[in-house]
Structure 1
Amino acid sequence: MARALNDDFEALFLPVLTLAIRALVRDGEAFLRIHVTAGREIRLKALPAEQVDPTIHRDLGDGGRIVAGIEFDAEDEVVAYHILPEAPGTPFVTYGEAVRVPAHDVLHLFDPLFPGQVRGLSWMAPVLLKLRDRDEASDALLMQLKTASLITGYVRDPDGTFAGFEGQASSRALNVALEPGAMRILPPGADVTFSNPGQGLSQAVDFLRAQDREIAAGTGLTFEALTGDLTQTNYSSARVGLLEFRRRAEMLQKTLIEGQLLRPLWLRWITRRSLADEIDTGGDALSDFLSVRFVAPGWQWVDPRNEVEADVAAIEAGLKSREEVVAGRGRDIDELNEEIARDAGRDQKDAAA
């Protein structure tokens, strides 16, 4: 039963999970509207952030208010969302008044940065100006490289006779093309110098790398993850940066994806199935269904041998449970135990044969 429920629940949220997480990073928030079909099935629809009308601000009296399209009651609890019929900018759309949708039909994901915040802030906001400067600096460096490939010579001609060169004269200047293998004898006092536009390129590369480090810090990524540049990284520094990034990612998985999306959705979904008598929740069975465990995707090993040996030692020393280690690798311990039992059964059959 657990496996069947898991498959059905994944079929419900997986199609919109990627859209929601991308919107969470891009817009700072993601909205999912819960629809109940004619067959009493739950469906999810991802909404653009601007479809929850941010222009609605209203005092409803008795402590109630609407802030940026989100309605609060006197207890400062979210009770409804005011959603436009269509997202702004949709082709051939006819704009209408925002529709009030009860809060239990909307899932709102965002990372609050300060008390009283009601809407999300794009995760790219701290680095948007820096990204623009980085792009312009990269374009300027490219133009400098193109200019460096052009060699320009300057002839100093004291007597104004063009030093014996022939070409197209303009005012008091003469444009002379460079020809391979040509030799020129200049009159006394004349000399030739060439421009050197490629100076400072090495400093520009270091400058761009410093910009990339600031952008990585502003987005919560490591420099290596942002750029894919591992040239200045050793094993120890890469591991330290990766562990720090993993801690932040696991915090976001727990508080945003699980806390604001999966658990509220599971509560609504499993309660509906219980009321429809699709699962047996007699007695204390409902509490078992509500006490769901979500297992996040596991992380790839940096040093498989050393990490496995460290986990085994931690389990033997009682510092970690086997379930914690298995969950850290993105597996469910019940499924793993079943697989191990099946393998053991096959080995016994092979030995008997």
Structure 2
Amino acid sequence: MKRPLHKRLGRAFRSALRELRGQRGVFDGAGVHRLLLDWIAQTRSADEEVRGDIRMLRARARELGRNNSYVKRYFRLLVTNVIGPMGIKLQAQVWAGDQPDSKANAAIEEAWNAWANAPVTVDGRLTLRRFEKLILKTVACDGEAFVRLWRGFEGNAHGLALQAIDADLIDETFNRPRRGTQNEIRMGVEIDAIGRPVGYWIWDSVGTDLMRERYFIPAAEMLHLYDPDRVNQTRGVTWVHSVMVPAHMLNAYEESEAVAARIGASKMGLFEKRADSLAGDLASDPRPATMEANPGTFEIVPDGYEFKAWEPDHPTAQFPAFIKQMLRKIASGFSVFYNVLANDAEGVSYSTMRSFALVERDDWRSIQQDFIDMWRRPLYAAWLGMALLTGSLKLSSRDPSRYMAVRHRPRGWQWIDPEKEAKAAVLSIQNGLGTRTGFLAEKGEDIEDVFAELAREQALAKEYGLSIFGEPVPAEEPKEEQPKDSEDPEEEKDEDQAEVEDEVNA
């Protein structure tokens, strides 16, 4: 008798599965056996992975940034260590032949500072430093940031203003394949045949308004800031994605332990009916058979019942260790020092803190350079072109390419052990193993600014009669009058002899 089709298919499937389980490849990570059957890995493009999850990831990252103390702490650390209290400085390094063009450099820095220290946004609210703090946090939280460059803006003398566009307005559901000369659209980004962005399709309003429409912004007017994780990735993914689940679980666990501890600190218990009680059931009593766990209050036990205390043991003894382990995992996902993220300096030695701080600073420097590459360099190019065009920056030439040699100087850090590291810096400079410029740059300082400030200090100290170290300058001794040159003794002798001869002759 021939077996039914479903039984034959089931038998074939089980046979194939047994054969597949028995295979052992060269790499253990590619093996398929009973211990790895729940390890599901798919081979998809970067955009296919992002497309379905980007909106939910973005929404959850924003919620964690609002309500989770540790995620909010990371965003603050990021902004503080990348942007810093004084922002990213601009240092012009234009040369005229084999000499620095001091006049052009001073003019560029003065014009840039005039623009950056005034409101640079189209709504006139934020200076460049505050706008960069917002943009960097947006890149970390949303995974990407969109900034429109308004060239020819009439609100300032430089003709350039900035507008941040919410990532929700770039519709990730808007996709179109390439047909003939028609460009492909991936998640709201229009790209050409070689994958270069041509423009962005933007909703004119946020939300689910059925009347809203998309409009097109050319790529030349938009800066799209994100850090791709894979090749050919069109949209950015939040930096919080790898710590979302542990951060959410930890937040819920801490809340549960806090509630349990509060209840445990209050009186609470159960009403238990005595076996010999003749009282009626509490269900027939119109009053609810419940009690509130309020500290300092006492309930009247119903007739025929006795109170049985319930004392939950919370927080448990494992609470601190569990919290610390979860925070270590979250800190690793953010690539920051656990003790800094958790504000926990318990049991940390100086050498351990120093070694971790040095590693962490390298990560911050890497993010600083990424931010400069994807944001500051194109921003400076856009500003320079408009400043030369409007005349707010007056130079000998209006060719922007002559003045692109600038250095964006991010913040630095003070030495962990100033005395030891200052001595090491002095020895390195004396032995030709380093320069003052390099050591000052590590602290976020410019050698020209330092030398100029030293010169001003010396001039001021001299004006007040002090040395550069605060000691009084020795008073200058009055110059002694030089005695008149005495006459030649031979001449005096001749004069005396002449006087004697005159007297004899007389």
TM range (shorter): 0.7 to 0.9
Check 1:311–1:22 CA distance in 2 against 1; reply closer, same or farther (3 A cut).
same
1:126 equivalent among 219, 242, 249: 242
| Residues 16 and 45, structure 1, Cα contact 8 Å, conserved in 2 | no
Check 1:141–1:263 CA distance in 2 against 1; reply closer, same or farther (3 A cut).
same
1:46 equivalent among 164, 172, 176: 164
| Residues 184 and 192, structure 2, Cα contact 8 Å, conserved in 1 | yes
1:115 pairs with 2:231: yes
| Residues 169 and 202, structure 2, Cα contact 8 Å, conserved in 1 | yes
| Residues 81 and 103, structure 1, Cα contact 8 Å, conserved in 2 | yes
1:75 alignment counterpart? 194
Amino acid at match of 1:290: M
Amino acid at match of 2:171: D
Unaligned runs of 5+ in 1: 180-191
Q: Deviations over 1:267-310 (max 9, x none)?
A: 11112222344321439x85552111011012133222222222
1:318 pairs with 2:432: yes
* TM-score normalized by the length of structure 1: 0.81
Q: In 1, Cα distance between the equivalents of 2:221 and 2:436?
A: 38
1:59 pairs with 2:177: yes
2:417 alignment counterpart? 303
**TM-superposed deviation, 1:95:** 4.5
Q: Deviations over 1:136-155 (max 9, x none)?
A: 21122123323433567899
1:221 alignment counterpart? 336
Moved more, 285-294 or 106-115: 285-294
| Residues 261 and 314, structure 2, Cα contact 8 Å, conserved in 1 | no
1:250 equivalent among 365, 378, 390: 365
Unaligned runs of 5+ in 2: 1-106, 121-127, 284-289, 291-295, 297-306, 466-472, 476-506
| Residues 34 and 42, structure 1, Cα contact 8 Å, conserved in 2 | yes
2:54 alignment counterpart? none
| Residues 137 and 208, structure 1, Cα contact 8 Å, conserved in 2 | no
2:109 alignment counterpart? 3
Q: Considering only aligned residues, what root-mean-square deviation do their CA atoms show, in Å?
A: 3.4
1:32 pairs with 2:138: no
1:293 alignment counterpart? 407
Q: In 2, Cα distance between the equivalents of 1:114 and 1:263?
A: 23
Q: In 1, Cα distance between the equivalents of 2:330 and 2:381?
A: 39
Structure index of larger Rg: 2
Amino acid at match of 1:31: F
Check 1:317–1:274 CA distance in 2 against 1; reply closer, same or farther (3 A cut).
same
2:356 equivalent among 229, 233, 241: 241
1:88 equivalent among 188, 202, 207: 207
| Residues 71 and 81, structure 1, Cα contact 8 Å, conserved in 2 | yes
| Residues 86 and 95, structure 1, Cα contact 8 Å, conserved in 2 | no
Higher relative CO (CA 8 A, sep ≥ 6), structure 1 or 2? 2
Amino acid at match of 1:28: G
| Pairs aligned (count) | 329
